[in-house]
Chains A and B, each alone.
Chain A
């Protein structure tokens, strides 16, 4: 049976001690296969939301469900399992500098105990999808920011996740590279992966013409099916 929701946030609040309200009573339902942008200015709680979804932070109040799994009080030992089901990419790429691009991608499979046969079959496919088949042996310092982000996307995709969280993926890129990354995310979405794009890039959001959630002071102040960056 197809799930009605891929991500469910129910009355989520996050308070950092002593009294910083990062999120206030947030309710958000994301359907499977959706491409959703979460926008807002700096410090509005966007990254906190990503951290809660990846198990890096726990919500102070409310419930969090990812793919039908209640991760509200997820234990430290279960976090690796959650992260193998969600692909995440970041503004600073977070690639291992001492490993080449192929090794960075393989690494995500190796840590999960996949066999060398499976790894050597999946990795070239994913590298091809992101357009890095010719640069697999290069180290992160030897390629451009856009290519590093592509490698990070490839790494996020090797687990064949149902959800891809992109936290400001174009923040460190010029407009050409940024557009290419967004195109790649749209392509991945077309394969059926739910994509959650966290950004404050007005141009990108307006061009996408997809669902937009607007955050302000930790609260959802806008939820448009075909939205624009309104702040």
Chain B
């Protein structure tokens, strides 16, 4: 009998979807729009995180050394700096390399190159370019670098760096904070829209629910077809979003690659590697909201 009831619940559920096809389409469309918006917001987060990461990667601190420093002395200092806990990487730029970079950078500026030639010697100093582990520890790193007592160091004026780092950290913190608030508001609105769509769908069935109750249908028999219908809506909605969203990402990807030249940004691979987590979680959350909305609405209309 339980199996028979289960089969009938499935039959009634599909019959209901088919016989109220327009209402079903509207409900599924709302689910698709809601899920698409959530995924779009997620893609924007991925892009903004990459952009912030790109800016932070650019942060490095340079120690300018005296021109007459020997290689051994510089290597000893490099090793000392490398041992600092805040340091990710230290690169040594020799005088010759510094000149090479300078010439490359100013290759379109013949006046500067002419002035350099007239000088007759390499005026640039060797340097150590230090990349911090994270932009958040760059401040600490500067403090540590200031503590190093070495005659090799010609210049260690980091005040501009400190100011810039504070600004970047402040901006990224704010961006994350605002992003989080917008995401939460957006998710809340989406859930309310989905919740309401299901309630409206069931509102149109209120008479039917009352009749089911009057002819002796048990509570579970009344609830289950609606619960199953909402699960089917969620399943179709999630599947359609996956089918729409991937082509959309494929269209977006070339523009992102052009914009973030030199940086590894691939939203498609992000969605691929988190496929189950993203779409599974979305399915579960929407199914839960649908189930809750249908349970509450059916309960309300079956009180006869």
Question: Residues on A close to B: CB < 8 A?
Answer: 54, 56, 76-77, 79-84, 88, 94-96, 98, 107-108, 110-113, 115, 155, 159
Contact = CB atoms under 8 A, between A and B. Distances in A.
Interface in B27-42: none
Contact of A115 (B4, B15, B208, B213): B4
Contacts of A81: 216
Contacts, number: 50
B210 interface: yes
A228 B2 CA distance: 50
* Contact residues of A: prevailing secondary structure: loop
A159 B16 CA distance: 24
A94 B212 CA distance: 10
Contact of A111 (B19, B20, B210, B216): B216
Interface string B155-183: 00000000000000000000000000000
Interface string B192-229: 00000000000000011011111111110100000000
Given A111-B8, A111-B216, 19 more contacts: A56-B304, A77-B219, A80-B213, A80-B216, A81-B216, A82-B216, A84-B216, A94-B210, A94-B214, A95-B211, A98-B19, A108-B216, A110-B8, A111-B221, A113-B1, A113-B4, A113-B5, A115-B4, A155-B215
A111 B211 contact: no
Nearest to A77: B219
B153 to A, nearest CB: 83
Nearest to B18: A98
Contacts of B19: 98
Given A98-B20, A113-B1, A113-B5, A159 B211 contact: no
B216 A112 contact: yes
Given A95-B211, A111-B221, A115-B4, A83 B216 contact: yes
B257 to A, nearest CB: 52
Nearest to A95: B211
A96 B218 contact: no
A137 to B, nearest CB: 15
Contacts of B213: 79-80, 83
Interface in B123-157: none
Contacts of B215: 83, 107-108, 111, 155
A111 B217 contact: yes
A56 B5 CA distance: 25
A88 B304 CA distance: 13
B219 A76 contact: yes
